[in-house]
Amino acid sequence: MQHYIIGFVGGGNMARSLIGGLLADGIAPERIWASDPDPGRLDTLRSAFQINATHDNAEVVNAAGVVVLAVKPQIVRQVTQSLGQMIQAKRPLVISIAAGIREADLRRWLGEKVALVRSMPNTPALVQSGATALYANPYVSDQQRELAESVLRAVGITVWLEDEAHMDAVTALSGSGPAYFFLIMEALEAAAVDLGLVPETARLLTLQTAFGAAKMALESEEPINVLRQRVTSPGGTTEQAVRVLEQGAMHALFGQALKAAYQRSRELAGLLGES
């Protein structure tokens, strides 16, 4: 990856996060290009990262061997259609981080036989702790798969999907997932305040407990239910709390929540592909 020029079409939060991660991985600033219509955003990219920044999307595509589509889903069609001829001529690896835009639609707008990787990063990528699923179409070579993985791994973990249809499940789980955990933390913090803790203490203990539990799960080879059982002593406080949560049908409720997000992801993908 060190020898490739990486171009970002769109310079928003996720693009800036990826650029920061790539620079931290040792990519030279002069090997990164970004385009955006906002002059203020371009100034920020130049001053923060010392990269090449331009208002012209075509200039980025002309320079880059890897093109990251980092624009809002609502304008992906307009942007990709304007770049299709140049993409066909240059044949770069194209990585889309636009949520909900299917590979078939991207290929329809960019032209056939484009080496295209569709990805679904989540917002913790903004703090280099993201979880990203990737799907490669048949025109992506093994080397290009490694390239795409290296780009997205700059902001967290990556997993490959062999079936693009699973991207809707990924959207429901890790794409929307940070909001679920924020909601749980919000509820825990409020309940702790009701029990008498001052808000600052409740917030700090909630956040550190969530971080610690996630870190333990990531670093352990044990299944999550085993880790939970080890914290749940018979007759103890945790057992009482877990019993209340299970009586509230928590597992079923999360199942319903993910199914709702999954269905909406499929609906939005259809709408964005038609728009």
Rounded distance, CA 4 to CA 258, Å? Answer: 38
Residue 54 within any structural domain of the chain = yes
- Give the CATH number for residue 120: 3.40.50.720
Domain co-membership, 63 together with 124 = yes
Residue 272 within any structural domain of the chain = no
Residue 73 within any structural domain of the chain = yes
pLDDT at 107: 94
N-terminal to C-terminal alpha carbon distance within the chain: 35
Q: Are 39 and 11 in contact (CB under 8 A)?
A: no
The total number of structural domains in the chain stands at: 2
Rounded distance, CA 59 to CA 48, Å? Answer: 21
Torsion of CA 216, 222, 228, 232, to 10 degrees: -110
Rounded distance, CA 243 to CA 220, Å? Answer: 25
- Give the CATH number for residue 254: 1.10.3730.10
Residue 96 within any structural domain of the chain = yes
Domain co-membership, 133 together with 40 = yes
**DSSP-assigned states of every residue in 93-148:** EEEE--TT--HHHHHHHH-TT--EEEEE--GGGGGT-EEEEEEE-TT--HHHHHHH
Domain co-membership, 115 together with 181 = no
Q: Which helix (H) or strand (E) holds 85?
A: helix 76-90
Domain co-membership, 136 together with 191 = no
pLDDT at 272: 87
Domain co-membership, 222 together with 162 = no
- Taking the alpha carbons of 78, 82, 84, 90 in that order, is the dihedral positive or negative? negative
Residue 74 within any structural domain of the chain = yes
Q: Which two tokens stand for residue 245?
A: 């949560």
Torsion of CA 35, 41, 43, 45, to 10 degrees: -70
Domain co-membership, 108 together with 233 = no
Residue identified by tokens 């049908």 is 249
Taking the CB of residue 251, how many other CB atoms lie within 10 A of it? 10
Range of the domain at 238: 175-265
DSSP-derived letter for residue 154 is: T
E strand spans, the chain: 6-9, 32-35, 52-54, 66-69, 93-96, 116-120, 130-136, 156-160
Domain co-membership, 241 together with 209 = yes
Question: How are beta strands 52-54 and 66-69 bridged, if at all?
Answer: unpaired
Alpha carbon separation from 58 to 41, 67, 85, 89, 271 (Å, rounded): 18, 11, 10, 12, 27
Rounded distance, CA 231 to CA 234, Å? Answer: 10
Torsion of CA 140, 141, 145, 148, to 10 degrees: -60
Collapse the DSSP code of 51 into the 3-class scheme (helix H, G, I; strand E, B; otherwise coil) and give the result. Answer: coil
Domain termination site, one of 167, 189, 224: 167
Domain termination site, one of 167, 184, 208: 167
Q: What's the pTM? A: 0.90
**Which pLDDT tens digits describe the chain residue by residue (275 residues)?**
667 899 999 999 999 999 999 999 999 999 999 999 999 999 999 999 999 999 999 999 999 999 999 999 999 999 999 999 999 999 999 999 999 999 999 999 999 899 999 999 999 999 999 999 999 999 999 999 999 999 999 999 999 999 999 999 999 999 999 999 999 999 999 999 999 999 999 999 999 999 999 999 999 999 999 999 999 999 999 999 999 999 999 999 999 999 999 999 999 999 888 75
Domain co-membership, 149 together with 17 = yes
Domain termination site, one of 134, 167, 200: 167
Domain co-membership, 77 together with 195 = no
pLDDT at 228: 95
Domain co-membership, 112 together with 32 = yes
Residue 82 within any structural domain of the chain = yes
Residue 271 within any structural domain of the chain = no
Domain co-membership, 43 together with 151 = yes
Domain co-membership, 147 together with 56 = yes
pLDDT at 83: 96
Residue 275 within any structural domain of the chain = no
